[in-house]
């Protein structure tokens, strides 16, 4: 879990992240840099997009589902993979 305030502070001002709130859910979208930028060479490929849907419990967020989208492919992620990242946000 992570607090909504901490997550909002973490993504604020970073154009690679966006947050959307609806009902008792929060969706976080992260667009990874192009592969060519990360590899520092010309590599064809699409940007990966990570989407995480949180259930809102008071001001705390609990991961409900997460997935990675590349092109037309959508692969589910185990929410436990996000725990170190969420711990980092919680401690910042």
Residues 6+ apart with CB under 8 A from 75: 67, 68, 69
Share of the chain above pLDDT 90, in %: 73
pTM of the model: 0.84
For residue range 45-82, what is the model confidence (pLDDT) as tens digits? 678 899 999 999 999 999 999 999 988 899 999 999 99
Residue-level pLDDT at 33: 78
For residue range 14-23, what is the model confidence (pLDDT) as tens digits? 999 999 999 8
The number of beta carbons lying within 10 Å of the beta carbon of residue 28 is 21
């Amino acid at each position: 879990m992570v607090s909504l305030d901490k997550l909002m502070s973490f993504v604020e001002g970073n154009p690679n992240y966006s947050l959307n709130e609806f009902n008792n859910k929060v969706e976080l979208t992260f667009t990874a840099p192009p592969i060519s930028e990360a590899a520092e060479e010309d590599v064809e490929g699409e940007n990966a997009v990570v989407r995480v849907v949180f259930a809102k419990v008071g001001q705390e967020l609990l991961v409900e589902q997460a997935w990675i989208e590349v092109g037309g492919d959508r692969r589910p992620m185990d929410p436990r993979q996000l725990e170190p990242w969420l711990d980092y946000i919680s401690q910042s």
